[in-house]
Amino acid sequence: MTQPLIEIRSAPHVKGPRSVEMIMRHVVWSLLPICAFYIFQYGISALASIVVVTATCLLAERAFVRTGTQAGRLADFSAVITGVLLALTLPPGFPLWMGAVAGLVAIALGKALFGGIGFNVFNPALVGRAFVQAAFPTSIATYTPSFLAGRFTEFIPSSLALPLMTPAGTADWLQSKNLDALAGATPLAKWKFDGVVANAIELLTSLSGHIAVGPAPALILLCGVYLAVRRFMDWRIPIAVLGSAALTAWLLYAFDAARYPNPFFMLFSGGLILGAVYMATDMVTSPVTPRGMWVYGALIGLLTVVIRYYSGLPEGVMYAILIANAASPLIEKITQPVTFGRGAPGRSREGSPGYVSRTDANAAIPKKRFLRNKPKK
């Protein structure tokens, strides 16, 4: 005789299909076209970089999950996202062993140390990138131009450096391709050190040949729109980041057009679009309150432009996002939404739309029994 199975569960009884694993899977899918275009731009080196960095992240994640001290599982796709995003922020010809170091640091220092998925304070991919930026400043600034002939059969020479060894310089290799060494400078570095402002449309599509850029901004925006429409990402953060960066850049451009580049150049160069759409929107490290998201995004945009203009570094998105990550618990605290039925402190509910007071409605005021100061008649 089988007993009928009675399940006793606590609420919620109706569950949506959205789980961490499902959201992360969709983010990975949305990253695939970006990766494909990136590989189309830079060929086999970019492919190797993405594979090696992601594999290192997964291996590190597996090692830490096995210790039993971590939240999350290997199968929740979060380490894949970290790896792919990290690889997309690195130069295509970044030595593979350094990429592996970056992946290991990203998972170990950026995520496992805090207790796994959901507990990290900083975006893991950016922690990994910040570490290799500080450890190998030359290699991370060495870009190569896109759409080189023979990119699908030939590695960029710096990719295949032996572990712990200095990568080969790319100047000779570029010369053999009839390009000068300057072709390897990113548009931001060219602007910062030579005062050359690249065409914003070229940067947006990244289709015109031989410019040293990251993944195409237009494609990232498109994939971002997909994520925002499917509600896998909050649309407020990218809008706030890009809006605030554009506004700051536009104000400075209006102030002195000779000294500052136009805001479109600011928006589409470097990693701002990738950072705004994929890095800043990391659910763990960004505020959950709607107003907090605006503040957080605006902070990133402002800091990015300030770092790009006034520091020694050509690019500032990474540090801007890391600083905003650190500030996000505080932002969350000061932007708590008002509980239903309770007015904001110091503000009367009268005058807010949709609220009609008794006096407005000419309703009879009921006699109050215990008035401390009786109105004189």
Partner 1 sequence: MNPATTKTWDEFMEGVWRQNPVFVMVLGMCPTLAVTVSAVNALSMGLATLFVLVCSCGLVSMMRKIVPKEVRIAIYIVIIATFVTVVDYAIQAISLALYDALGAFIQLIVVNCIILGRAEAHAAKNPPLPAMVNATGMGIGFVIGLFALGAVREILGAGSLFGVSLFGPDFQPWVIMVLPPGGFFVLGGWLLLFSWIERRKQRRLTEATQNA
**Nearer to partner 1 among residue 137 and residue 329 (C-beta):** 137
Identity of residue 287? P
Q: How far apart are CA 101 and CA 109, in angstroms?
A: 11
Q: Is the CB of residue 63 less than 8 Å from the CB of residue 55?
A: no
The correct pick among 107, 127, 161, 237 for binding partner 1 (CB under 8 A) is 161
The correct pick among 36, 66, 149, 166 for binding partner 1 (CB under 8 A) is 166
DSSP 320-368: HHHHHHHHHHHHHHHTPPPPTT-PPTT--STTSTT---TTTTTPPPPPP
Measured CA angle at 7 (ends 4, 1), to 5 deg: 15
Among 190, 366, 187, residue whose Cα is nearest residue 271? 187
Q: Which stretch binds partner 1 (CB under 8 A): 48-56, 75-83, 165-173, 331-339?
A: 165-173
Q: How far is the CB of 314 from partner 1 (least distance, A)?
A: 18
Q: Quote the radius of gyration of the chain (alpha carbons, Å).
A: 26
Q: How far is the CB of 165 from partner 1 (least distance, A)?
A: 5
Residues making up the chain, counted from first to last: 377
Q: Which stretch binds partner 1 (CB under 8 A): 21-29, 161-169, 178-186, 293-301?
A: 161-169
Total residues contacting partner 1 (rule CB under 8 A)? 15
Please list the residues that pair with 116 across neighbouring strands.
71
**Nearer to partner 1 among residue 137 and residue 337 (C-beta):** 137
**Nearer to partner 1 among residue 108 and residue 242 (C-beta):** 108
Residues 6+ apart with CB under 8 A from 319: 130, 303, 307, 313
Q: How far apart are CA 138 and CA 313, in angstroms?
A: 12
Q: How far is the CB of 169 from partner 1 (least distance, A)?
A: 12
| 159 counts as binding partner 1 under rule CB under 8 A | no
**Nearer to partner 1 among residue 167 and residue 275 (C-beta):** 167
| 264 counts as binding partner 1 under rule CB under 8 A | no
Residues 1-30 that bind partner 1 (CB under 8 A): none
**Nearer to partner 1 among residue 163 and residue 337 (C-beta):** 163
Residues 128-157 that bind partner 1 (CB under 8 A): 131, 134-137, 139
The correct pick among 1, 8, 14, 164 for binding partner 1 (CB under 8 A) is 164
Q: Is the CB of residue 332 less than 8 Å from the CB of residue 288?
A: yes
The correct pick among 128, 145, 157, 167 for binding partner 1 (CB under 8 A) is 167
Encoded one letter per residue, x for contact with partner 1 by CB under 8 A and - for no contact, window 101-120 reads --------x-----------
Q: How far is the CB of 355 from partner 1 (least distance, A)?
A: 54
DSSP 174-218: HHHTT--GGGGS-HHHHHHHH-PPPPHHHHHH--SSS---SS-HH
Q: Which stretch binds partner 1 (CB under 8 A): 47-55, 163-171, 200-208, 335-343?
A: 163-171
| 165 counts as binding partner 1 under rule CB under 8 A | yes
**Nearer to partner 1 among residue 5 and residue 165 (C-beta):** 165
Which residues here bind partner 1, judged by CB under 8 A?
Answer: 95, 98, 109, 131, 134-137, 139, 161-162, 164-167
